[in-house]
């Protein structure tokens, strides 16, 4: 289950329904894409943020450099870490 994709799918289906009387086939295509997004969101799960293999390391939130987990400040870009 991927809730944000489910929401996008529903929005796309609704816009497809609105476009159907105006644009015909185009609205139908949009609605179909919405249905596909909706179905895909039930099967798919949200993408998990990338984590380093080494559990004592993590990526800097700003420059994506691999830094020590306990590091308060990134040694590369000096950005404060959460």
Span near Zn ion by CB under 5 A; candidates 16-24, 27-35, 42-50, 60-68: 60-68
Q: How far is the CB of 32 from Zn ion (least distance, A)?
A: 43
Report the distance separating Cα 62 and Cα 22, nearest Å: 45
Q: Is 60 in the site for Zn ion (CB under 5 A)?
A: yes
Closest CA to 34 of 15, 49, 55, 60: 15
Cα-to-chain-centroid distance, residue 2 = 9
Q: How far is the CB of 80 from Zn ion (least distance, A)?
A: 10
Copy the structure tokens of residue 48.
Answer: 């998990």
Taking the least distance from each CB to Zn ion, the nearer of 1 and 66 is 66
Among 39, 51, 62, 66, binds Zn ion (CB under 5 A): 62
């Amino acid at each position: 289950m991927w809730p944000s994709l489910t929401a996008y799918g529903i929005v796309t289906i609704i816009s497809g329904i609105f476009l159907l009387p105006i644009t015909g086939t185009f609205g139908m295509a949009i609605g179909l894409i919405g249905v596909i997004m909706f179905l895909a969101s039930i099967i798919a799960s949200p993408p998990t943020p990338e984590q380093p293999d080494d559990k004592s390391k993590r990526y800097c939130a700003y420059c994506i450099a691999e830094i020590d987990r306990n590091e308060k400040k990134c040694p590369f870009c000096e950005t404060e870490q959460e």
